[in-house]
Amino acid sequence: MENSELDKLRSNYKAAVERWIAAIRFEENLATPDHSMIAVEDWEKADFAEEESRTLAKAARKEYQDALREVLFNF
């Protein structure tokens, strides 16, 4: 595997982490003093989006990590 491929995997991972961070901040911002049912529903929806972003970031991390192991340790 070439460095350019590893660079792409690292870049994908970093972008996925940034999306995850943004999702966490969005969810956090929905925890407002407005205790209405609509606000709670929006907050819960944001939790699902945060979890999806986390899953994608973890998958991108694993893909990058697996590629590094292949290059560095031949497995």
d(CA 39, CA 32): 8
Q: Minimal CA–CA distance to 23: which of 67, 44, 54, 59? A: 54
Domain limits for position 21: 3-73
Report pTM.
Answer: 0.87
Q: How many residues appear in the chain? A: 75
Number of domains making up the chain: 1
Query: According to the model, what pLDDT value does residue 1 have?
Result: 78
Query: According to the model, what pLDDT value does residue 18 have?
Result: 98
Query: According to the model, what pLDDT value does residue 33 have?
Result: 78
Q: Please, what is the end-to-end C-alpha distance for the chain in angstroms?
A: 12
Q: What is the tens place of the pLDDT at every residue in 26-75?
A: 999 998 878 899 999 999 999 999 999 999 999 999 999 999 999 999 97
d(CA 2, CA 71): 9
